[in-house]
Chains A and B, each alone.
Chain A
Amino acid sequence: MRLDVDPIKCEAHGLCAELLPERITLDEWGYPIIDPAPIPASLQDLARRTVNACPTLALKLRALESRPLDGVQTRSRRVVSGRDGGEAAPGRRARSTR
């Protein structure tokens, strides 16, 4: 799994960088810079807690998998922020606009 931030939802509260400094730092304006490397098993619980702590629900844990799209490699980014790795709870689903 890896972490992704929705830059439109993010309002630079900065909690994520406090909870998961192993993977998240803040830029000079307070917005998170996320290490793109996969999250190791040892950090996954912490990563989930960080995702849940975001006040604007801007963080997501996504499954790492790739599938070919007619020769174009894309990463399928299924949302797996629920504890069991299933669909995100309805209340947590990204809204398309503010």
Chain B
Amino acid sequence: MSLPRVLLGAGPETMDFAVHRRVHGDPPTAGRAAGAAARLHAELTRAGLRGRGGGAFPLAAKLAAAQRAKRRPVVVVNATEGEPLSVKDRMLLESLPHLVLDGALCLADALDTGEVIIAIDECFGDATASMRRALLERPDLGGHTAQAKIVNVPSGYVTGQETAIVNFINSGIPRPVTQPPRLTERGIAKRPTLMSNAETLAHVALIARHGAEWFREMGREDEPGSALVTLSGGVRAPGVFEIEYGSRLGSVIEAAGGLTEPVRAFLFGGYAGSWVGGEAARSARLSRAGLAPLRASLGAGIIVALPESACPVAEVARVAAWMADESAHQCGPCVNGLGSIADVLIDVCEGRGGRDAFGDIRRWSELVTGRGACAHPDGTARFVTSALSTFATEFDDHARHGLCEACERRPVLIVPRRRVAVRS
């Protein structure tokens, strides 16, 4: 079978339940019979499905951990998508809510639980409405007996981090908490919680129907299947594309109508991701193994083509300042480190960097990595240090001469309007 898999039949309109059944067949029912859960676990293990929210954690391992728990688990669909440059999960909910639901209900069946929560960013009005309609279209939830409810989570970069979602549902505070305990041991209402990204669940729905062998017919041996990517920046038709793991970057660019102008560099993995120079990236294959030599990864499936006409220094400084602001302001190294990095980047951009600016930025980046309750500082540090290496010439130029002509151009890397920082 060829592409599209997840996006089969996807269009501008929401795929209703009747069409969904016509396109994909009846919803898979893992069933609660003894052995059904073990079969789904075995299928997911053989499929090698990993989480698509950026963490790439093997779903079967998560499922097994939740199965081991003594109390009745809760299944959570993570459709918060805090990365400003990713729209795949919102698109899935708006366009294919039943596929995501199928996957969530399969896991709920396997865990013999009746509770499914769909966590959606509070600003995703269309996605929320589409999912609400989808739930009404299958009041029996397609043969499952689960109760599914929608929870709207406050917008933000770290509010979609899984412990932040659980914290919000438990206590109304949308900020990450320190692990352990893992959520599969103790999450919502102290119950074991299996949280999975919306796209991951769409793949579960397909694996439950067609099996692991089918899933592995596509992609690489060590990274099977297909993935959704959001491609934006200097391409003619930016949007969400389904790719086969291991395919060339060039083929997605082609699918997006080609480049609008020469590209200076590509950003992989969003604002917690890495920059790769345009030449090096062009022949790259889109997989963990293909991007590892470039010290990059797809993260939540985000690719941005930064055109040569853009100023990378202004773009990077703007995003770094936004990311510092988006910190939950709970952990000292993150608050102080990201703030210092952002301040000096802005100074460099405006030509007031000082002699040790780059040394300071690199030192702070190393200093914050691994020292937050969540990976927010790690991701921002990666984004900034890869930018220093990729755009060394431009950063030097700015350190010496300050603002350039391109600084004032419309940003390629969008940042949502700043909110008042939540301080503890």
Which A residues have a C-beta under 8 Å from some C-beta of B? 6-12, 27-31, 33, 69-72, 77, 94, 96-98
Interface size bucket, B side?
A: 20 to 34
* In the complex, chain B residues whose CB is within 8 Å of the CB of A11: 332
Whether A7 pairs with B333 at a CB distance below 8 angstroms is yes
Please provide the 7 A-B residue pairs with the shortest distance between their CB atoms, ordered closest to farther. A7-B331, A31-B332, A29-B336, A70-B61, A8-B330, A96-B177, A6-B178
* One of B32-40, B245-253, B366-374, B398-406 at the interface: B366-374
Which B residues have a C-beta under 8 Å from some C-beta of A? 45, 57-58, 60-61, 64-65, 167, 170-171, 173, 175-178, 180, 330-334, 336-337, 367, 371-373, 424
Chain A residues touching B, majority SS:
loop
- Least Cβ–Cβ distance between B375 and chain A, in angstroms: 12
* In the complex, chain A residues whose CB is within 8 Å of the CB of B45: 70
Assembly CA distance A58 to B265 (angstroms): 42
Whether A31 pairs with B371 at a CB distance below 8 angstroms is yes
- Least Cβ–Cβ distance between B246 and chain A, in angstroms: 22
* In the complex, chain A residues whose CB is within 8 Å of the CB of B171: 96-97
* In the complex, chain B residues whose CB is within 8 Å of the CB of A10: 331-332
What are 29 pairs between A and B in contact, CB < 8 Å? A6-B373, A7-B178, A7-B331, A7-B333, A7-B334, A7-B372, A8-B176, A8-B178, A12-B332, A27-B367, A28-B367, A29-B333, A31-B371, A69-B64, A70-B45, A70-B58, A70-B61, A70-B64, A70-B65, A71-B61, A72-B57, A72-B58, A94-B178, A96-B167, A96-B178, A97-B173, A97-B177, A98-B330, A98-B424
Assembly CA distance A29 to B411 (angstroms): 33
Assembly CA distance A50 to B367 (angstroms): 23
Q: A6-B178, A97-B177 are in contact. List 16 more A-B contacts (CB 8 A).
A: A7-B330, A7-B334, A7-B373, A8-B330, A8-B373, A10-B332, A27-B367, A29-B337, A70-B58, A71-B58, A71-B61, A72-B61, A96-B170, A96-B171, A96-B177, A97-B171
